[in-house]
Structure 1
Amino acid sequence: MRVSSRIDGSICGAIFHLHRPSLLHSSAAAAVSGRRGTSPCRYNIVSSHGGGCFTRDFHGSCTVSGARPQGHIRRSRGARRSLLTTLPALPPTNIHDGAFFRPTIPTTCENHTAAAVVPDITPEPPPSSQADAPAAHDAFEILTRPPPPRKPRGNLWSKDELLALVEPYDAGPVEEHLQFFRDPYMRGYAPADGPNLTVSVKRDDVEFPSYEEVMQADEEQRKILWELRFAVLSRLRNPLRTDLDTVYEIYQRLPEPRMPYIYARLRHQLLKVLGQPEKKDSKSMLRYFAVIADVKNSGMPLTAAEWNSAISFASRYVGVSTEVETESALKLWREMEQDAGIKGTDVTFNILFDVASKAGNFTLAEMIYKEMEARGHRFNRYHYVSLIHFFGLKLDTAGLRAAYREMVNAGEIIDTVALNCVIAGLLRSGEEEAADRVYERMKLLSQEQQTGGGKREMPARTYVTNKAITQVFLMFAKLGRRHPSLQPGLQRMALIHPDLHTYRVLVNHYGVKMGDLARVAKYLDEMKFFQIPLHGAIFLALFKGFYAHGGYRGSAWSEQRLNSIWQALLDTLDEGGSGIEIKTWLAIWVLRAFKKCAADPNSRVLDAYEALKMRWSLDHADEQFMIEFLASLVNK
């Protein structure tokens, strides 16, 4: 196989590029020709690049070792040995000695062909006479002559010498050149991509604009601002007095951009009001994020509490958290810390831990837990209750009991919320007897508090009272840690008694999961004893139980008992009972229960649908959904 005489990128190619015959060519050729004949002698050169072995004859052709081109007779091993014995061994040297290439110890190519010593080709002119003995002798003397002593040089890898390898040129920093290539029009004619705003969290910036720095408003806009301020303050004083829809409707009447018309204090109060709805659903979430978007588009900062409210909305606007809500919460947390520069608080980590646990991503929950410990955040009742719930979801009752013990040892106030979480975790893990013992102790403690300390009316558990009670318990825990002698008295002030959430957990477990109607009836009687009114969640669990365990002869979940529960629901709705309203989920399970348990299912389903339709207050989309669901249910 023929190879071009110009081989780029290899030392072999660089040697072949020199067209001057060297002294070695003439002398070695004469020596070998005299011993083996007049055919041209060929020797091997090992290329330092490419891993191949090439052969070079004296006529200027270059072939790959192992390939025998026509017209050439490959020399025997004895001829090559004669060539090697003719040339004495050369001392090792390197490229810094002034020679372009130096021979090395003979090696063997991949095809096991012995490689001849590669001679040094010097830029000296060729001799006048060809193949004469004195010239050959001079050539051998030159080849065997020791290299001249090297002059000591400085550090070859110093900074100055490295920079001197390339011509000095005032090129400027790399960022200028990158910016030049980012310019789509080139040479600096592209429009600016700014302004690039940086949100500050300093106190002066958070309190901007003040009352004197807001955008000037006309008479109508000032009237709207006054109505907004009055509605926000009324909501803060009494959440049941002003509806959030009214507050948001007044806010939307302001001209865009709305935020420059609102001074800083009113802006934070508005976000606080909209971030604390009675129930977090998709409607309240979209409403809050719309106002958050107006704040960010105006270049105004958000406080840590406002970021926490946004993360809470992103993760808790649905009943069951999934990976979608977890990813949304983590994205907001990353934006909070990286973009806004606000570090997460203990409330932030409690929200993230809670959503990761409820979504079933226990690995992420453990990572959040470790990050919180690494940052030195102190646990409070929120974190301990979430930790109890975490072990309950993992069906680890030993970890659940350990978390409860740590909560007690930390001086936190134990109340119904913590014990409800313990009962739910034990029931989920299959320890019904342990859960029943905790429930019986709750009833006993409630009776002792009623008789020992005088009869005390249990406050109505609403959104406002629950939030106030939680803040009081946090204050009691701090006070008890500072003054341990006050801890027992502060704990006795916490009412421990079964509440609506306790019976909701019990009815769902024994009714929907276990199908024990007698146990469910017992819990309903005890609800009446503790003066706990019926709630829509209890009715929802009952209708789910009829759908799961009714519909066959001899079942305790019969049609007669279903009719009694159905009549109780209608009576409660007609009396205007609080906490009960017809939503899509309740209506769906009512219709499913009648479809499963009634003797004439389609007729009873249609009658129940008409009765529900007279009492619900659904929007157009939900009503259309119920019509489609009814059609699919009747046609089954």
Structure 2
Amino acid sequence: MAASETYPTRYILHASPLDRQGPNGPPEGSLQLSPHSDHSAPQYPSSRSWNHTASPSIEPEESDVVFQPKIIQPKRELLGFLDQYDETTVDEHLEYLRDPYMRKYAPADGPNLSVSDRTEDVELQSVGKLYRGRSRECEEVQLLRKALYTKLRHPGRVGLDTIWALYQAVPEPRAAHMSSSVRHLLFATLSTTERKDHKSMLRYFAVVADVKNSGFTLTRKEWHGAMSFASRYVATTTEVETEAALRLWRDMEVNAGIKGNEVTFNILFDSASKAGKFNLAEMIYEEMTTRGFPFSRYHHVSLIHFFGLKQVASGVRAAYKEMIEAGEIIDTVVLNCVIAGFIRCGEEDAADRVYEKMKASNANLKVVPHRDYTMQKSITKVLMMFAKVGKKHPDMRSNFQQAALLSPDLRTYRILITHYGVRLGDLTKVSQFLDEMKLYKVPLHGSIFLALFKSFAVYGGRGSDWSSSRLDSVWDAFLSALDSGADGLTIGTWLAMAVLNAFSKHSSRDQLLDIYECLRSRWDLNTADSEFMLGFLNRLLQGDDLINRRKGGGTGRGLWS
């Protein structure tokens, strides 16, 4: 959808005690989410642009005044984002976690690691002997090279499926027919994906196997890509993924003879933390310190996330303070991590305080600039460059900090709506956040709809504020955004299950089947996922609530509003 098109009026958040009103009430299909008619959220004129579906940045009208943000954010103001600080440091918190006597219990024995000294492991083929391919590229490799250059320069023109098809067309052994530059371009392209999943992971490791079987070596960056895929191809990192990343690390250092750097340890630390292996994460932290690697922006953010997972709010504050003291540039990504950490620690007031500070930081910014995956990666590199220059020239750091955006973005609202909606069922807060998304013109995303449908599935039912009329409005807005081609909005198994679960609280059997058919006509699932969804629907149709409503004569969602 073009950026200039208006937002669907049915998605406007407004409070009303009625599910459907006549000509004097809100328009048919409007989203009724606020539990009170005198909702304190700002009222918007009907002419306000309300397009959450467009990803490109919105061009201001001629009458708009372009404001230059007047932001001065010295260290004192950045520290003021958090409500308080304990007189503790990150090292003190880590020492507390490591010392069993301070925590009144002893640690478990292990893990006991050892490096193999077997002959078959030590006397491997030398990685220095490289196989030289033909001096002249074949036609298939030339086509692959052109596609790779196009993908890196213009990501939207060529898809990864096209790249993979061209690679499969290269004669075997494929790696032997390609020059080193093409191989490195191929690895860089396959690793540049917004969401790492099974499909992208298997493709990357298939190329790794082809390259190693042909006698070529991997660069450190390509090893990092393999470790990242091994630990992040699933939604929730577990011990299995962490062990896979550790095996790749050992293979890189012992067999390939390539020593890890700070990026290596950041990937391992992040994987161990997300898997709940906090002792292993502390060991990786100590090894990184022993080797003398400097802490980068990535590691500081991972440390904030680590203390959030440990539910140590003082550690979150200490890690945030240490990041500022280290001269790193603070932006929305860092503050989102702080908010998520406070929410995990149960300090919702502290999280709300950070959110309010974020809104006030760019008060003159009328529209939040859109950031896709490629843009965010570029911004991160620029911020790291700013931090590096700022450490050498401290007088320039304040100017660099002014260039960083601190306003809420899509991830901010996803964190808050998921917490207050799915976990707490607070309809008032969810309505407030959705209103403010509209105010800042933050585009809708599938994750927001997923959180909303999950909330209806958990808290919907007879007498609930999460009524059937409000569910209908969310459903209509979802279909409108989906049909208009909104960015990041596709029907996967998780979203489809959330929709069916939500409607199972309000619908009859026939209505639930209609919802399923509507989803099936729009999704692009493989055979296995389609069969899984059919089985999931059958389990819902056999549910007690649905059977009781069918026997009791319930025929409409309006009965449950």
- TM-score bracket, shorter-length normalisation: 0.7 to 0.9
Q: What does 1:146-545 correspond to in 2, within 5 Å?
A: 196-200=124-128, 213-215=132-134, 222-448=138-364, 450=365, 458-545=368-455
Tell me if the contact between 2:368 and 2:441 (Cα under 8 Å) persists in the aligned partners.
Answer: no
Q: Quote the offset at 1:238 in angstroms.
A: 1.6
Which segments of structure 1 move beyond 6 Å, counting only runs of 4 or more?
Answer: none
Shift of residue 215 of structure 1? 2.4
Q: Which stretches in structure 1 are left out of the alignment for 5+ residues?
A: 1-177, 183-192
Alignment partner of 1:572 out of 467, 476, 481: 481
The residue type equivalent to 2:411 in the other structure is H
Aligned letter for 2:518? A
**What is the count of residue pairs matched by the alignment?**
426
2:511 and 2:402 mapped to 1: Cα distance? Answer: 51
User: Which deviations, in whole Å up to 9, do the C-alpha atoms of 1:314-363 show, x marking residues without a partner?
Assistant: 00011110111111111111111111111111111111111111111101
The answer as to 2:504 corresponding to 1:595 is yes
Map Cα deviations across residues 33-65 of structure 1 (whole Å, 9 max, x no partner). Answer: xxxxxxxxxxxxxxxxxxxxxxxxxxxxxxxxx
Secondary structure (helix, strand or coil) at the match of 2:269 reads helix
Deviation at 1:513? 0.5
AA in 1 matched with 2:421 = G
Distance in 1 (CA, whole Å) between partners of 2:304 and 2:379 is: 20
Alpha-carbon distance in 1 for matches of 2:519, 2:340: 32
Determine the structure 2 residue equivalent to 1:50: none
Alpha-carbon shift at residue 458 of structure 1 (Å)? 4.0
Alignment of 1:596-635 (within 5 A): 596-598=505-507, 600=508, 602-635=509-542
Gaps of 5+ in 2: 1-117, 544-561
Per-residue CA deviations over 1:72-107 (Å, capped at 9, x if unaligned) read xxxxxxxxxxxxxxxxxxxxxxxxxxxxxxxxxxxx
Give 1:392 deviation, angstroms: 0.4
Partner of 1:556: 465
> 2:368·2:409 contact (CA, 8 Å) conserved in 1?
no
Q: Which has the higher contact order (CA 8 A, sep 6+)?
A: 2
Distance in 2, matches of 1:573 and 1:259, equals 40
Amino acid of the structure 2 residue aligned with 1:314: A
Q: Percent identity?
A: 55
- The answer to whether the 8 Å contact 1:546/1:597 transfers is no
Residues of 1 paired with 2:220 and 2:140: CA distance? 28
| 1:607 positional shift | 1.0
- Partner Cα separation in structure 1 for residue 314 and residue 505 of structure 2: 40
TM-score, L = length of structure 2? 0.74
Counterparts of 2:324 and 2:473 in 1: how far apart (Å)?
44
Q: Check the 8 A contact 1:412/1:477 in 2, yes or no.
A: yes
With the length of structure 1 as denominator, give the TM-score of the two structures. Answer: 0.65
Q: How far apart are residue 575 of structure 1 and its match?
A: 1.6
Q: Does 1:586 align with 2:502?
A: no
- Counterpart secondary structure, 1:597: coil
Instruction: Work out whether residues 547 and 597 of structure 1, in 8 Å CA contact, stay in contact via their aligned partners in 2.
Output: no
1:574-617 Cα distance to aligned partner (Å, 9 max, x none): 2221211111110011001111233x2x2222111011111111
Give the CA deviation at 1:196. 4.4
Matched-pair contact (CA < 8 Å) for 2:368–2:440: no
Q: Secondary structure at the match of 1:390?
A: helix
CA-atom RMSD, angstroms?
Answer: 1.9
3-state SS, counterpart of residue 363 of structure 2: helix
- What secondary structure sits across from 1:447 in the alignment? coil
Work out whether residues 595 and 604 of structure 1, in 8 Å CA contact, stay in contact via their aligned partners in 2. Answer: no
